[in-house]
Chain A
Amino acid sequence: MGEANDQGETRSSGKRREWLAFLFVTAVVVPLLTIAVVVGYGFVVWMLQIFVLGPPGHGG
């Protein structure tokens, strides 16, 4: 549906949308995803330590 509308759009509104999308993804989406991945990784390791590995070991 978006593609049909694109034809009628003015050049400036397309530019605006592109910049918004770009900045939103770089400044918000990717940082949040990165933090989520790190946090998730931390949680997985913590849970592994509780149930499987035991406390972090020496050089292990």
Chain B
Amino acid sequence: MKIIAALWNTLKRPPVHISLGVIIIVSFLAGIIFWGGFNTAMEVTNTEKFCVSCHEMENNVYQELQQTVHWSNRSGVRAICSDCHVPHNWTDKIARKMQASKEVWGAIFGTIDTPEKFEAKRLELAQHEWARFKANGSQECRNCHDYDSMDWSEMSDEARRFMEPAAERGQSCVDCHKGIAHQLPQQMGSVDPLLAGLVREATSVSLDEGETYYSAKSVDLYTDAERTEQAGVLQVATEVNVLETQGESVKLEIAAWRKEKGFGRVLYEDFGQNISSAVLDKDIAQDGAMIETHQSDVVDELTGLPWGQVSVTLWAEKGAYLGNREALWETAGQTYRDACSVCHTEPAPEHFDANTWPAMFSGMVGFTNMSAPTQELVLKYLQMHSSDFVDAAH
């Protein structure tokens, strides 16, 4: 207290020993040094080196970024953490820096210090960022990617079809481009609860010999009942005939068409339509003893390719088949509408034919968070409900 009182006594009177000029110059210099130091410190906390100095960032999100176009690309421009995650305007930037006190807390107490803990938190963390990007219209993306500077004529027709209306609405980039710099949360990718439910249901469906069933997921095919020699993979929602059951294995007959050009590895649902039912290993597909041919050299006029009608009999695991496809189609249709309507009005499945859908679908599916099994099912749903299968088609 005495020191403070003495200090106050000195400060409240005009200086006797220091000239006003010295005070002005020293204060001015101190101000410059302080302001410079302050900004330098701010900039240091905005560097990538600073961000990845904690292993939570270094081991997770930083590694993921390195797989993306924001890390390396043909133009050699790249984004660092703060480009996207720290607001550029001063007030929001300071608020974000203070918010980082939570991250300091997390680093000290190890909130996400293992990959498991990080994965468990990923969805929540991602949602915070998505909410922020939603509110500011993805401002940090647009600091570089400006709608006004986009040259539509340089874009592919497909990109333009979506980007132009988005620009008119001033749509937030992350509405469609989630997961562009880091992996999507597991919950959104690999586990589709509806589909998982059907796969579970299939485990309790009893199989009668001579009956027809449909695969609820893709299953491995084998030449033997012990399932040691793999022969190929049966795709989801494919019709199979159950011939025989033995222990945990089931003998399936798959009736299909295939192209008689190349190795004929891919089996298709129907003549002339690229709706895949199964993919066989090369030596199995070439093995006359394994494949029974019913019709041969049926030429598809459109492509000039000869097709053959075949059936193949192979072993697979039990408990992966459903009595009909209705529930699978319903799930697929729901997923299709949900995923696509996030960005645009989804075309009706019968808007395209079965052979147009694969290219359409693969062009767009990258914008969704469908897992590989879900993608396979949804594509098949679209093909099987395309104009080739619907009477009231365009």
Contact = CB atoms under 8 A, between A and B. Distances in A.
A45 B92 contact: yes
Given A2-B9, A18-B18, A55 B94 contact: no
B150 interface: no
A39 B45 CA distance: 15
A27 B30 contact: yes
Interface of B: 5-7, 9-11, 15-18, 23, 26-27, 30, 34, 38, 87, 89, 91-92, 94-99, 131-132, 134-137, 139
B136 A39 contact: no
Interface in A21-59: 21-27, 30-31, 34-35, 38-39, 41-43, 45-46, 49, 54-58
B174 to A, nearest CB: 12
A3 to B, nearest CB: 7
A22 to B, nearest CB: 6
A45 B97 CA distance: 11
B136 A18 contact: no
B136 A45 contact: no
A42 B97 contact: yes
Nearest to A19: B18
Given A42-B94, A42-B95, A56 B10 contact: no
Given A26-B27, A45-B92, A58-B135, A21 B98 contact: no
Given A2-B5, A18-B16, A22-B23, A57 B135 contact: yes
Contacts of B6: 2, 17
Nearest to A16: B17
A21 B11 contact: yes
Given A39-B98, A49-B95, A3 B17 contact: no
Contacts of B94: 38, 41-42, 45
14 contacts: A6-B9, A17-B10, A18-B17, A22-B15, A26-B27, A26-B30, A31-B34, A42-B95, A43-B95, A45-B95, A46-B95, A55-B136, A56-B89, A56-B132
A57 B7 CA distance: 46
A56 B92 contact: yes
Contact of B17 (A14, A38, A58): A14
B135 A56 contact: yes
Contact of A24 (B7, B91, B131, B139): B7
Contact of B131 (A1, A21, A26, A55): A55
A18 to B, nearest CB: 5
A56 B26 CA distance: 39
B307 to A, nearest CB: 55
Given A15-B17, A42-B97, A55-B132, 19 more contacts: A1-B5, A2-B9, A14-B16, A15-B16, A18-B10, A18-B15, A18-B16, A19-B18, A21-B11, A22-B26, A27-B30, A30-B34, A34-B34, A38-B94, A42-B95, A45-B95, A46-B99, A55-B131, A56-B132
Contact of A19 (B17, B27, B98): B17
Nearest to A12: B17
Contact of A21 (B7, B27, B95): B7
Contacts of A3: 9
A28 to B, nearest CB: 10
A26 B28 CA distance: 10
A58 B137 contact: yes
Nearest to A2: B9
